[in-house]
């Protein structure tokens, strides 16, 4: 069995960033808010409308 000692993988990982560390714009926040609002409307709005009828 050989050891996995690929040096290029270690060098590439030093340049990577994760999502919380990345910058994001206000338009990305706006899109996320719209997607969340639609999801909440589907998850709660439709069942509440069927109960009220």
User: pLDDT tens, 17-36?
Assistant: 666 767 789 999 999 999 99
Q: What pLDDT shows up at residue 23?
A: 79
**Region for residue 26 given its phi and psi (left: phi exceeds 0; alpha: psi -120 to 50; beta: otherwise):** alpha
Residue 6 has pLDDT above 60, yes or no: no
- End-to-end CA separation in angstroms for the chain: 67
Each domain of the chain, given as residue ranges in start order, spans 6-52
pTM above 0.85, yes or no: no
CA dist 37 to 23, 24, 32, Å?
23, 19, 9
Mean pLDDT of 3-21: 62
């Amino acid at each position: 069995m050989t050891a996995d000692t690929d040096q290029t993988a270690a060098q590439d990982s030093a340049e990577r960033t994760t999502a919380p560390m990345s910058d994001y714009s206000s338009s990305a926040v706006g899109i996320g808010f719209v997607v969340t609002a639609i999801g909440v409307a589907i998850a709660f709005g439709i069942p509440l409308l069927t109960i009220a009828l």
